[in-house]
Structure 1
Amino acid sequence: MNFGRRNSSSRARPRTVAIVQARLASTRLPRKVLRDIGGQTMLARVVRRLQRARGIDAVVIAAAQAESAAIVAEGERLGVPVEVGSELDVLDRFYRAAQAHGAEVVVRVPSDCPLIDPHVVDEVVAAFHRHRVDYASTTVERTYPRGLDCEAVSGEALERTWREARAPHEREHVTPYIYEHSELFRVWPHKLAGEDYSRYRWTVDEAADLKLVRALYRRFDNQDTFTWREALAVVLADPSLAQINARVRHKSLGEK
């Protein structure tokens, strides 16, 4: 296969595709990706933010076959392609979406991160190239708030992972085979210098998470151009915001 082979001779940079995995069957907050946040779905918030990242050439939604109709409709409304694939083998779904869109570098962002910052995405992509690695991520060693989850992986590394990964959690969560096998892949943890805000939770798994995110969007008139630093300043100035979802525990890899 030629998928994922970086070809620097044809253009200035490898084709970089952001893939957003979207599903409706969340046990803690069903249909969460279509929940409203200030007049837009959560999925729309993620997509629009990613489209502002300068290092991204295309944004694609990867949906599970069994629940794809509503997500496909939302993708059409947003003007974003939706690739439909396996519900359980998410790695296969992700890989085939990347392959279908000629990705040489793939950026993975969850659909439950409506505060994803395009500047952070660009920083991760830049670090990926600068350090000449197979994989760069804000999640390997967390310093950013949860919800600024961004991974950049080479097409070659993704293809190898697709061929070799066998464990259920490796197939379901796409990238564990990479960051759990540093002897096979060059991994770069993208971290803040001298700062740690990982105690803050800006991802959406439960109703309390959604309440916080909606509150933050209201602080910015429901526009989605505010940065994570601006959101952090609001949270630091009003500690009651962080208390909204303080009791929500983080999901383990095996949870839906």
Structure 2
Amino acid sequence: MTLAPRTGAVIFARLDSRRLPEKALREVAGRPLLGRVIDRVRQIRNIGRVILATSDRAVDDRLQSFASKEGVEVFRGDADSTLNRAVACARRFSLDVILRVCGDSPFLLPEVAEELIRVVEEKNFDLATNVSPRTFPVGMSAEAIRTQALEIAQESADSAECHEHCTRYFYLHPGRFNIYSLTRGTNLSSMNFAVDTPADLERASQLCQLLGNRVDVAGLPEILATAARLDGAKADS
């Protein structure tokens, strides 16, 4: 296995979710949601380290404790600006490239993440994304970003929106960056596998249970087939 020590997966999570408070530590089939995300991230072969980037507020102390027990490095920073937190985290760990991972995505696709990282590392791209245009399901998003490009965005961002979402500035000003968009032939953007509500949490738990010992490694076709089986069973009940 070849590791890229200057590339790190950075999981962004906080405990003050409005729609599902403390969701990062809520259990998904017997394991905290953040743990499920970590398990999937660890399947990515071309990263050098896994880092949790959370806020510097006391409310997120439990996230740091959980991540540390999982053997995940932790960075704590700006609670209001994900962009500032991303740049500071990349600098703290001397990362050339970060893979942005949402802490609400227990079905992140490692094979997609690997491709995004490869494109940024080996070709002249500042950002590789499967977010825009979106053809993958919600909750299977990832972005590989050069730290130098993040720093440009940070210096130029002049709105709360661009600070709240660390890559928003890239999409608003695509002419300033070399952006690679990974898309798929069949548009699945209407599907959702993210965990934002109690109903999402219940469905994710049921899906993890059906996947069984494949839960950490299942690819997109297997996840889709299992989700169809789950939804079909619900429709028949």
Query: Does TM, scored on the shorter chain, surpass 0.5?
Result: yes
Distance 1:60 1:12 in 2: 15
Structure 2: give runs of 5+ residues left out of the alignment: none
1:152-192 deviation digits (Å, cap 9, x = unpaired): 11111011112221210101111111121111001111111
Is residue 216 of structure 1 aligned with residue 223 of structure 2? no
* Percent sequence identity over aligned pairs: 30
* Aligned partner of 2:26 among 26, 35, 45: 35
Hey, what does 1:122 align to over in structure 2?
Answer: 114
Q: Provide the TM-score with structure 2 as the length reference.
A: 0.91
Hey, what does 1:4 align to over in structure 2?
Answer: none
Decide whether aligned partners of structure 1 residues 129 and 83 sit closer, same or farther in structure 2, where only a CA change above 3 A counts: closer
Which amino acid letter does the alignment assign opposite residue 123 of structure 1?
E
Q: Which one has the bigger helix percentage?
A: 2
* Aligned partner of 1:46 among 27, 37, 43: 37
Hey, what does 1:18 align to over in structure 2?
Answer: 9
Give the Å deviation of 1:89: 1.7
Paired residues of 2:56 and 2:78 also in contact (CA < 8 A): yes
Q: Which runs of 4+ in 1 moved over 4 A?
A: 11-14
**SS where residue 212 of structure 2 aligns?**
coil
Distance 1:13 1:69 in 2: 29
Paired residues of 1:14 and 1:104 also in contact (CA < 8 A): no
Hey, what does 1:79 align to over in structure 2?
Answer: 71
Give the Å deviation of 1:242: 8.9
Distance 2:220 2:99 in 1: 19
Structure 1: give runs of 5+ residues left out of the alignment: 1-10, 244-256
Distance 1:118 1:229 in 2: 13
Distance 2:17 2:29 in 1: 21
Which amino acid letter does the alignment assign opposite residue 24 of structure 2?
V
Distance 1:159 1:241 in 2: 48
Paired residues of 2:116 and 2:144 also in contact (CA < 8 A): yes
Distance 2:182 2:120 in 1: 9
Q: Provide the TM-score with structure 1 as the length reference.
A: 0.85
Instruction: Give the 5 Å matches for 1:106-255.
Output: 106-129=98-121, 131-192=123-184, 194-221=185-212, 223-240=215-232
Distance 2:209 2:3 in 1: 40
Paired residues of 1:108 and 1:150 also in contact (CA < 8 A): yes
